Amino acid sequence: MGVKFLHLADVHLDTPFQVRTKDMRMFLRQAIRQAFQKAVDLAISERVHAVLIAGDLFDNQTLSFATERFMVEQMKRLYEAQIPVFYAPGNHDPAGVMYRRSLIEWPDNMKVFNTRQPETCPVYDREGRLVAWVTGAGHEGPREKDNIIKDFPRAGDADIPHIGLAHVWVTGARGEGEHDRYAPCTLEDMMDKGYTYWALGHIHTRVHLAEKPLVIYPGNLMGRHHGEEGSKGAYLVEIDDPGRVKAEFYPVAPVRWVTFKVGSLAQAKTLAELQEHVYRAVVQQLENEEQGVGTHDVIARVLLEGPCLLYSQLRLQEIGCTHEENIQVLEEYLYNALGFRYVEVVPDGLTRPVVPESYRGQPHVLGVALDILEEARSDPQVLLKLKPDILAGCPPMDTGDVIAYLQELLEGLDYEVTARLMEEMV
């Protein structure tokens, strides 16, 4: 007989976005809805027996009436398709009566696990035959500190698959350090229950924690910033009669975030040369990216790095023209040439078109100056000897604080000294 279900988590509908323009923020807000709707489309087209949502369906603090209506409409679509939904709230959408989620009127196919105490529910096929058990538990508040997995019951009938559903922080999971330690547990806590599959949420990185039983974080449904790059979506899971599990990832996010690193800019002397070099470097990196989403749906961040002859135009303020305006020219070029949805150019990694290391130890003023800077960087006593009696911007401090302040001033000074002395030599 078997069972088929869709596992998704961390949708974060109405999450606030940190991008420059209001239009882009509105676009991303709608894009998350599109991702969720595509997941519902997938569930209906695949005639799944259930949809499992492992928490953080929305952000409780920012949920709008429009998104609330949208969510209920999507659940009604699943109701009409005779697909039950099992939903275990997380730290962003807790189930307590004081939170917005508790006031939403869901259709009858929606089962919400409202407490940290686990509850087991049957899953039936369209002929009314039992095909699986789902045990779930939810967060009652935004900072759940208890291990909610430890109270999950052991699986019963070995012939019926048992599925665990929870929004938890698993010790040792890839990406755990990027998320709060809510509902902490261990992999061993789950292994001991005898379940066939664990549908988890909370970690936004897609990862398989174990194969037997299969324990999966699907990641969030759509990336929200450049810390959440790559394809995003949900898992379509099938468990056949002998208990074999097949979990296939389906990307549903209409956009993806991609970072491009561009160096070797030392030969670019004009805007045209700079544009051509950056364009070619980005295209080459695009060829290595995951397929499935066109360039028009890429939210790009281009990091410029290394020595560059146009350093002053891109990083320093010029008379009558700021570097921000110059960066915007490059962004507009890439936007039009590559058809990105959005592009941001970050010049912070650029350095002056000099290589201080090639002048160190040489018998001239520049070489001596660089050697002194290197010695001051490694020897606090040398640094203190070089300090003037009155140090601008430095209030009264103890010696340790003064040294730390001086070491901060040394950052990038070797490039500055090299550039200025080279100009004088020319």
The pLDDT, as a whole number, for residue 398 is: 72
Q: At residue 189, does pLDDT exceed 80?
A: yes
Identify the top-confidence range among 165-169, 325-329, 366-370, 407-411: 165-169
The pLDDT, as a whole number, for residue 367 is: 81
Q: At residue 164, does pLDDT exceed 60?
A: yes
The pLDDT, as a whole number, for residue 238 is: 97
The pLDDT, as a whole number, for residue 312 is: 82
pLDDT tens-place string over residues 87-112: 999 988 888 766 776 778 899 999 99
Nearest to 200 by CA among 274, 129, 261, 137: 137
The pLDDT, as a whole number, for residue 175 is: 56
The pLDDT, as a whole number, for residue 277 is: 95
pLDDT tens-place string over residues 316-367: 654 455 578 899 999 999 999 999 999 999 998 988 777 677 778 778 787 8
Nearest to 5 by CA among 278, 234, 299: 234
pLDDT tens-place string over residues 28-38: 999 999 999 99
Lowest mean pLDDT among 75-84, 189-198, 302-311, 353-362: 353-362
pLDDT band at 239 (very low <50, low <70, confident <90, very high): very high
Q: At residue 290, does pLDDT exceed 70?
A: no
| Cis, peptide link before residue 107, omega less than 30° from 0 | no
The pLDDT, as a whole number, for residue 292 is: 46
pLDDT tens-place string over residues 373-406: 888 888 888 888 877 776 665 666 677 777 888 8
Lowest mean pLDDT among 29-43, 57-71, 185-199, 244-258: 57-71
Q: What is the mean pLDDT of residues 203-210?
A: 93
pLDDT band at 422 (very low <50, low <70, confident <90, very high): low
- Asked whether 100 and 53 are in contact (CB, 8 A), the reply is no
Which residues 6+ apart lie within 8 Å of 30 measured at CB? none
User: What is the overall mean pLDDT for the chain?
Assistant: 87
pLDDT greater at residue 52 or residue 157? 52
Q: At residue 311, does pLDDT exceed 90?
A: no
Q: What is the mean pLDDT of residues 262-278?
A: 91
The pLDDT, as a whole number, for residue 396 is: 62
Q: At residue 40, does pLDDT exceed 50?
A: yes
pLDDT tens-place string over residues 110-122: 999 999 999 999 9
Nearest to 118 by CA among 217, 56, 225, 193: 193
Q: What is the mean pLDDT of residues 1-28?
A: 88
